[in-house]
Amino acid sequence: MKRAARGRRRGAGRPATDTAGSSRRGEAPLAGHFVEQDRRGGMDVERTMQFILESQAKAEIRADKAEVRADRNDARNDARINALEKRLDKRMDAITKILQQGMRMLAKTDAALAELAEAQAELAQAQKETDRSLKAFINSLRHGRNGR
């Protein structure tokens, strides 16, 4: 009869487990942690509330630290961005100066080409006149009209 009574007892010889699989006697799991149960098998509400408040406080501390890290990273990134912007501005200014110089050179080259084209046209005209006069001179030598 003792055996039958022992077998009917709750958890006979094993640690008490709840539905979530807690194997620690007198504790129930809550978000991965254990909360004390009172002697009647229910949860100790005060201790559970204390646990929740402590967890919330820890979470707020972690969030504050993360925010400080994010602010520090933002400041560091802002400094990097400002340095990059300064370098890019200097490069853009240099490129602008090079373009302006190139445009001035191009304008001078265009003017020089126009002068050369004009001089070439004058030279071509002078060459034609020289050719005509040379042909006339040669023709005059062939016909020899010098007093005859």
Q: Write the pLDDT tens digit of every residue in 86-108.
A: 999 999 999 999 999 999 999 99
**Domain-embedded: residue 14:** no
Domain count, the chain: 1
Distance CA 134, CA 18 (A): 127
**Domain-embedded: residue 92:** yes
Backbone φ and ψ of 38, nearest 5°: -80, 175
pLDDT at position 59: 96
Task: Give the single-character DSSP code of 43.
Answer: B
- Flag whether pLDDT at 130 surpasses 80: yes
Helices and strands, number each (H, E), in the chain: 2, 2
**Domain-embedded: residue 55:** yes
Inter-residue contact 27 to 41 (CB < 8 Å):
no
**Domain-embedded: residue 71:** yes
pLDDT at position 145: 66
**Domain-embedded: residue 89:** yes
Inter-residue contact 123 to 116 (CB < 8 Å):
no
**Domain-embedded: residue 49:** yes
Q: What percent of the chain is predicted at pLDDT more than 70?
A: 69
Summarised one tens digit per residue, pLDDT across range 31-87 is 555 545 555 566 788 999 999 999 999 999 999 999 999 999 999 999 999 999 999
Q: What is the mean pLDDT of residues 16-42?
A: 51
**Domain-embedded: residue 144:** no
- Flag whether pLDDT at 117 surpasses 80: yes
Token pair listed for 19 = 């539905």
Rama region for 2: left / alpha / beta (φ>0; ψ in -120 to 50; rest): alpha
**Domain-embedded: residue 78:** yes
Residue 66 lies in domain: 20-139
